[in-house]
Amino acid sequence: FAPWNDPNAKPYIQFDNVTKKFGDFTAVNNLSLTIFEREFFALLGASGCGKSTLLRMLAGFEEPTAGRILLDGQDLRGIPPYRRPVNMMFQSYALFPHMTVENNIAFGLKQDGMPKPEIASRVAEMLKLVKLEQFAKRKPHQLSGGQRQRVALARSVAKRPKVLLLDEPLGALDKKLREETQFELMDLQQNLGLTFVVVTHDQEEAMTMADRIAIIDKGEVMQVATPAEVYEAPGSRFVAGFVGNVNMFEGKIARGEAGAASIDAGNGITIRTDNAGAASAGTAVTFAIRPEKIKVSSKKPAEAVNAIEGEVYDIAYLGDMTVYHVKLDDGQVVRASTMNAARITEDPLSWNDRAWVSFRPDAGVVLTR
C-alpha cells in the first residue's frame, strides 16, 4: 500500500495552499498536503504548531482564511460539518455521561433518522468491533479509560464516515494501554477500510500507526514521508531532531566528490561520509547520525574510518538496549546505543573509561537546512 508513489493515484484529501489566521496570528501558513484514500495519516508536531487547526478545518469547524480543502475532488468550503463525510473523535471523547454505552453509540444514528432495527444491528456490530459486547448497558463512569476510548471510537465510526479524524486519540491512556490501543486502531482502520487522519505530538505514536507522517512546525509542513524515511532520511535539522534521538555535528564540507565528502567538524574532528549528496566544498552542514549507528569500544577500532576519542560519561541499561553517553574531548556528548540481543558493543566499558566512538561512512545524513 503506497499510493503516494503511484503517479496515477487520485488524491483524496487535498489541502491546497491553505492559510488560517486568527486575528494577526497565522496558525497555518500557505500549507499544501495530499492524503490518499485508506491511508492512515499522522499530523505530528509540538503543541501550538497548528495541527489541530488543520483537522478542525477538514471537519468544518473552522474555515480557511485562504486556500482550498478538497475531498474526493469536491471543494469543502461552505459545507457544514454534519454534511461532510468526515467524523471527528475528540481527545476528551465527549461521551454523554447519563447514557449507556449502546445509547452513546446509537445517538448519531437516531439523529439521522435511521430505522430502529438497523440501529440495533449497527450498534451490535460496533460493540463487537471494539470488543465491548458485555458493556452495552454500562454508563461511561463504570468503564476504564481504555474502554471509554473504545466507546468513543465505536460512536465515531458507527455512521460509517469515509474519513475519521482523531485528535490525540490516545492522550488520556497510560503508556502500556496506549501502546496496545495503537495496534487496535491500526486493525480497526484496516478492517473498516477508512481513511484515518490522526493528530499527535507523540512521535512514537505517529511512527507506530501511520502509513505516512507530516511533520508540522509553525503552521508549515516540514516533511511528509513514511516513518522509515522520516527516521532514516530526515530532510532538515528540525525533522532529524524532532523524530527519535540523534547526534549532530556542525561542520563544513572540506572536500567532496560525487556524494562522498569529508566534513571538517572542528576540534580536529573529520567525518568521512558517503551521503553528502550535492553539497559542495565550503558548504556549512550538519552531520546527523542515529545512536544505533555508533559503536563504542575501549580500543581504537582498526577498520573504522570515523573514530573519535572521548570518555564514557554514563551508561544506562534499558533492558532491550544499553545507551552510552561518551563525552568527546571537545566537550560534545555523543549518544550511542546497542541492542542487548545483538551486542555490537561487547567491550566491558565502565563510567569514566577512555573510549572510541566509531561509525561507517554510509551511516548518517548530511543536512544543509
Phi, psi of 48 (to 5 degrees): 90, 5
Three cell numbers written together for 362: 554510509
- Name the residue type at position 358: S
Span 290-349, contacts to ligand ATP by CB under 6 A: none
Q: Does 27 bind ligand ATP (CB under 6 A)?
A: yes
Q: How far is the CB of 22 from ligand ATP (least distance, A)?
A: 3
Answer yes or no whether residue 47 interacts with ligand ATP by CB under 6 A: yes
Residue 42 interacts with ligand ATP (CB under 6 A): yes or no = no
Site for ligand ATP in 55-84 (CB under 6 A): none
* Least Å from the CB of residue 54 to ligand ATP: 7
48 binding ligand ATP? (CB under 6 A): yes
Closest residue to ligand ATP, judged by C-beta, is 52
Range 182-221, binding ligand ATP (CB under 6 A): 201
Q: Is 22 in the site for ligand ATP (CB under 6 A)?
A: yes
263, 249 contact by CB (below 8 A): yes
CA 3 – CA 232 distance, rounded (Å): 20
Binding piece for ligand ATP, criterion CB under 6 A, among 19-27, 31-39, 248-256, 355-363: 19-27
Q: Which stretch binds ligand ATP (CB under 6 A): 22-30, 32-40, 92-100, 361-369?
A: 22-30
Query: 27 or 109: whose CB is closer to ligand ATP?
Result: 27
Q: Using CB under 6 A, count the residues that bind ligand ATP.
A: 12
Question: What residues does 312 pair with on adjacent strands?
Answer: 326
Options 50, 140, 161, 256; binder of ligand ATP; rule CB under 6 A = 50
Give, as one character, the DSSP assignment of residue 279. P
Nearest to 27 by CA among 59, 58, 54, 45: 54
Q: How many CB atoms lie within 10 A of CB 23?
A: 5
In this chain, which stretch among 41-49, 104-112, 121-129, 202-210 interacts with ligand ATP, using CB under 6 A?
A: 41-49
Asked whether 15 and 67 are in contact (CB, 8 A), the reply is yes
Does residue 266 interact with ligand ATP by CB under 6 A? no
Distance CA 169, CA 184 (A): 12
Q: Give me the residue label for grid cell 532529524.
A: 240
d(CA 266, CA 222): 29
Among 14, 53, 332, 337, the residue binding ligand ATP under the rule CB under 6 A is 53
CB atoms within 10 A of CB 331: 8
Interface with ligand ATP, residue 24, by CB under 6 A: no
Q: Does 52 bind ligand ATP (CB under 6 A)?
A: yes
Instruction: Answer positive or negative: Cα dihedral of 274, 279, 283, 288.
Output: negative
Q: What angle (nearest 5°) sits at the alpha carbon of residue 292, between those of residues 287 and 296? A: 90
| Minimum CB distance to ligand ATP, residue 27 (Å) | 3
d(CA 141, CA 138): 8
Of 51 and 84, the one with the shorter C-beta distance to ligand ATP is: 51
Q: Which is nearer to ligand ATP, 165 or 289 (CB)?
A: 165
Give the shortest CB-48-to-ligand ATP separation in angstroms.
4
86 binds ligand ATP (CB under 6 A): no
User: Cα separation of 51 and 36, whole Å?
Assistant: 18
Question: Tell me, what DSSP letter sits at residue 136?
Answer: T
DSSP-derived secondary structure letter, 49: S
- From candidates 45, 169, 291, 364, binder to ligand ATP by CB under 6 A: 45
Q: For residues 57 and 326, which CB has a smaller minimum distance to ligand ATP in the complex? A: 57
**What is the Rg, in whole angstroms, of the alpha carbon atoms belonging to the chain?**
25
Choose the stretch contacting ligand ATP; rule: CB under 6 A; options: 21-29, 112-120, 131-139, 153-161.
21-29
Output DSSP code: residue 9. P
Residue numbers at the binding site for ligand ATP (CB under 6 A): 22, 25, 27, 45, 47-53, 201
